[in-house]
Amino acid sequence: MKSGFFEAIKAFAENLGFDLVGIVPFRPVKEAEAFLKKWTAKNYHGEMRYLENFKERRERLRGKIPDAQSLIVLGVNYFPGGAKPGMKASFPQGRIARYAWGKDYHEAVREKLRKLEGFLREKHPETRCVSCVDTEPLFEKAYAEKAGFGFCGKHTNLLTKRFGPWVFLAEIVTNLKPDFDPPKAKGNCGHCRRCLDACPTKAILPSREIDARRCIAYLTIEHKSIIPEELRPLMKDWVFGCDECLKACPFAKFSKETGWLEFKPEAGFGSSLDLLSLFRIKNNRDYKRKFEGTPLSRASRKMMLRNASVALGNLKAKEAIPALEQALENEAPLVRIHAAWALGRIRKEECREVCD
């Protein structure tokens, strides 16, 4: 297919708001598959069992479009800027990872992908395609490297010189075969280990792997059960996700504020949550209604109360004692275990103050 169409795809995608666009052959990435197999064999994926049946899921994807030829790889700069300055809150707050400050990126990006699919079919009616936003069995970062977006750092996140580490990825698998992007040179982290040193729980390993079982993002979002007690103090006041490794990365100097209004703090809950307000949400229906349309809905109510309890314990927030005591009486076992731990931390601090 002529390169003119390739350029037309790029132009249309950029007009939709995509910051990075590339097209690569839709072929297996054997080195990434081998890495995943070894990684899951070490159980570094924790409770994310869906990663164990990658080949089966990939075959289902291939079955949707057997004659797939290419992959349109798309990147979105989501960096929302810094937290807005203002008066210091009089209530304890928990930090939220930057990717979750605004609306749910899955829906925001999916809407744009539908328009790009429409463009492809308009130009070539025989087009068949499948849009992917984080949920399909694709090695997104490996394809993004092949498209020339950047390279994966030691923290396993994609690093770009245009936007730093703050990039969402999406793809369209299609039976079209436009000219592909020429290969681009890869980068590397060299001897830098700032992300390893910055990780509070030491989840980033020298082997360029993440032990998800220790990662704060995993523990607050993907992990459904009890958080290991030895990790709780290291989680600080993070209540949903974590940005410590990305903030420490030298590539953060390339950060630019996103042009997508959906990812601005004003579109969601911003950089932090009132932790005590979470305990005032008394049922799952109200919780779902409050966080609907934002990434925060990924964590269930009891998971978020678990996370909030850990953050309150680390903040030594005395004003949280009544809410935590009530949680001991009325909440699910998962919440009660962490509320009791938080109360122990806070009361220990009280005792220390009295002794001093």
Residues marked active site are found at: 134
**46: phi > 0 → left, psi -120 to 50 → alpha, else beta; which?**
left
Any idea which residue has 């103090």 for tokens? Answer: 233
Helix (H) or strand (E) holding 238, with range, is strand 238-240
Separation between Cα atoms, residue 156 and residue 151, nearest integer Å: 9
Separation between Cα atoms, residue 240 and residue 228, nearest integer Å: 17
Query: Does residue 138 contact residue 132 with C-beta atoms inside 8 Å?
Result: yes
- In our burial notation (b when 16+ CB lie closer than 10 A, e otherwise), range 190-219 reads eeeebbbebbbbebbbeeebbbbbbbbbbb
Separation between Cα atoms, residue 174 and residue 24, nearest integer Å: 11
